[in-house]
Amino acid sequence: MSEAVTQPDRAAEKPPSVFNVGASLRQYGIFLALVLIIVLFQFLTDGRLLQPNNVTSLVQQNAYVLILAVGMLMVIVAGHIDLSVGSVVAAVGGVIGVLMIDYDWGTWITVLVALLIGGLIGAWQGFWVAYVGVPAFIVTLGGMMIFRGVALVLVGYTRSGFESDFIAISNSGVAGLTGFVGMLDAFTLIVGIIGILAVLFFSIRKRLALRKRNLDVEPSVLFWVKLVSLAAAIGLATYWIARSNLALPYVLIIVGAVVFAYAWLMGSTVFGRHVYAIGGNLAAAKLSGINTKKVNFWLFVNMGLLGGLAAIIVTSRAGAAAAAAGTGYELDVIAACFIGGAAVTGGIGRVSGAVIGALIMGVLNMGLSIMGVDPSWQQIIKGLVLTLAVAFDLINKSRSAGRAG
């Protein structure tokens, strides 16, 4: 059947790569919003937000959001949702606590088992969604209750006293690994420079590839403004982190690897194109020969795997396994995706947008905490930001549809 696929059907398999002014401006708008929020809280906190140690704390405290948002973005693009991620983090964290404290397992074998269990949980949920046809909302709502119950059963009391190398995953960094340049950690500077060069290289290569295929590209001015802005943002972040006590945190290396890997997966692979196709038009994707059940199954396996990784990071950061871990995580993660430009109806969203959305949530959390804002008001503010972000996206789509009509 795949041999008889028509050209329009094949076009439906591709993620949106042709330049679209409205979509591009929305991406720039999200980045600009992040910059404005940072500037605002830097002013409101009398300069405390961007103190070097606070910058590294921002990454450490929100690493779980960044990692889970990447997986959630893929699920949302495919037209699904996962409400169970917080409970999965708690359940896998409970397994980590039992294995390391009760049975004296070593750090790295426990890490591997945690990832495996996360993947198995994802496979369980993926089976019901992909092969039985139960809506993901229902399956993961059930998963939210099941795995929270598992966490309560496993962690009857809080486990603490983990090995130092496990604690170091989320609480240590590379400070002094290759010496210092003045007050700045040398290794952090090297990584920052490599990051800037990588962004320049891959962005320019992608632009040249689009031109080679005779596809439209964004205007040169917008392209270079974007590149310079990204390079400046990476450079400033590198400077602040290099001045901190930890320098480059190990957890940031993990987050960076996840973000780059999944940005490539969604933007440059057949699997990524199939995810966009399923979310954009499920019927057309099936007619194009895409094995939608297989793609949906592996989406949830991947979400479970990232949930296991998030559990490792959260448990390491806290230094303890508690049944209440992960409470409300699904809300922060889903909000990060929608704030970052993912469409409620599926088919639209980028890993970079989800990362920016997660950073916006992180800056809001830290900025409001530094200001001493009551947690209840913090929830109200974050809820308003999410509502406005989704409303802005829907209004833009409505206007675009009106102009097209």
Confidence class for position 393, pLDDT limits 50, 70, 90: low
pLDDT tens, residue by residue, 357-374: 999 989 998 999 999 989
Checking if the pLDDT of 6 tops 60, the result is no
Taking CA atoms, 59 is separated from 62, 345, 362, in Å, by 5, 30, 8
C-alpha 180/C-alpha 178 separation (Å) is 7
The pLDDT of 14-20, averaged and rounded, is 45
Nearest to 117 by CA among 311, 313, 259, 334: 311
- Comparing 211 with 84, which gets the higher pLDDT? 84
What distance in Å separates the CA atoms of residue 64 and residue 220, rounded to the nearest whole number? 36
State the chain's mean pLDDT as an integer: 89
The pLDDT assigned to 21 comes to 53
Angstrom distance (rounded) from CA 156 to CA 323: 8
pLDDT in tens, 260-290: 999 999 988 999 999 999 999 999 999 999 9
Q: What is the pLDDT of residues 44-82, one digit of tens each?
A: 999 999 899 999 999 999 999 999 999 999 999 999 999
Residues 169-189: pLDDT tens digits? 999 999 988 899 989 999 999
pLDDT higher than 50, residue 331 = yes
Tens digit of each residue's pLDDT (9 = 90 or more) over 33-42: 888 889 999 9
**Angstrom distance (rounded) from CA 248 to CA 375:** 29
pLDDT tens-place string over residues 193-204: 999 999 899 889
Q: Kindly tell me if the per-residue pLDDT of 107 is higher than 90.
A: yes
pLDDT tens-digit series, residues 114-163: 999 999 999 999 999 999 999 999 999 999 999 999 999 999 889 999 99
What are the residue boundaries of the structural domains of the chain, listed by start? 2-172+249-396
Which CATH number is correct for 2-172+249-396, 1.25.40, 3.30.450, 1.10.3470, 1.10.760? Answer: 1.10.3470
> Over 80: is that where the pLDDT of 9 sits?
no
Least confident span in 28-32, 88-92, 309-313, 320-324: 28-32
User: Is 252's pLDDT higher than 80?
Assistant: yes
pLDDT 10s digits, 199-233: 899 889 888 888 888 887 788 888 888 889 889 99
- CA quadruple 148, 150, 156, 160: dihedral sign: negative
Tell me how crowded residue 300 is: count the other CB atoms within 10 A of its CB. 31
Question: Which pLDDT band, with edges at 50, 70 and 90, does 26 fall under?
Answer: low
pLDDT at 8: 42
- Which residue in 1, 16, 60 sits closest to 275, CA to CA? 16
Contacting residues for 404 by C-beta, under 8 A, at least 6 apart: none
Report the pLDDT averaged over residues 394-402: 65
Rounded distance between C-alpha atoms, residue 230 and residue 237, angstroms: 11
Two tokens at 136? 């993901």
The length of the chain is 405
pLDDT score recorded for residue 405? 57
For residue 273, give the H/E element and its range.
helix 270-280
Is-contact 59 248, C-beta < 8 A?
A: no
Name the pTM for this structure. Answer: 0.89
List the structure tokens of 348.
Answer: 């639209």
Residue 388: pLDDT band (50, 70, 90) is confident
